[in-house]
Amino acid sequence: MAARGTSARALVTVAVAALGALTPVTRPAWAGPPALLQCQGTETTAYRPGLAFQPRHIEITTSGRFTSCVGGAVTSGSYGERFTIFVGCNDLLDGFHRARTFRWNTGDTSVIDGTGRSTATAGQVVTTITGPITAGRLRGRTAIEVITLPQPSALRCLTTGLTNATGATTLTIA
């Protein structure tokens, strides 16, 4: 009888272990951010002096705000930068490479080592920036930001120059 009791206990132990193996394991809160972060917002770009057809050194200041982010603790963010390039209305679509730092509502930052390209479509300049997150939150992931700004009008490029533009921006980090 003792052997039978031992066998029954062993069988119960094996059954409990097997059921435990089938129980789904939830990811602990500290396991890291979800696989995808998506944000939507606006970007304002200022050009000093104003963009004209004749290329010249222009100081460009960008200010972006993500008011709606989905994918974890990040719910909003921002970025801003200032740089000088030699550009005119006709060559706004040239490619570029630069770092951009996103600041999140969580107090964290993410730095993208981004390569950008622009196209003119239906009266808008659509700029796509892609690259890896090289520092901060979500390091090692890939970011894609798409910024849509109004295309400079020929009249403004011929007269006072284009001094600013505001449009939509979206960011996906996977």
- How many independent structural domains does the chain possess? 1
Domain membership of residue 129 (yes or no) is yes
pTM, whole model, 2 decimals? 0.77
pLDDT at site 165: 93
Enumerate long-range contacts of 10-15, CB under 8 Å, 24 or more apart. Answer: none
Domain membership of residue 85 (yes or no) is yes
What distance in Å separates the CA atoms of residue 145 and residue 142, rounded to the nearest whole number?
A: 10
Please report, as a single letter, which amino acid is at residue 150.
P
Write the CA distances from 10 to 1, 15, 18, 21, integer angstroms: 14, 9, 12, 17
Domain membership of residue 27 (yes or no) is no
pLDDT at site 34: 57
Under 8 Å CB-to-CB from 119, ≥6 apart: which residues?
93, 125, 126
Domain membership of residue 7 (yes or no) is no
What distance in Å separates the CA atoms of residue 139 and residue 136, rounded to the nearest whole number?
A: 6
| Domain extent at residue 110 | 35-173
Domain membership of residue 17 (yes or no) is no
Domain membership of residue 104 (yes or no) is yes
The single residue listed with the structure tokens 């890939």 is 142
What distance in Å separates the CA atoms of residue 157 and residue 56, rounded to the nearest whole number?
A: 12
What distance in Å separates the CA atoms of residue 163 and residue 79, rounded to the nearest whole number?
A: 20
- C-alpha dihedral (91, 156, 125, 149), degrees to nearest 10: 140
Domain membership of residue 159 (yes or no) is yes
Domain membership of residue 82 (yes or no) is yes
Mean pLDDT by 10 residues, the chain (174 residues): 46 38 40 76 96 92 97 95 89 85 97 93 90 97 96 84 95 97
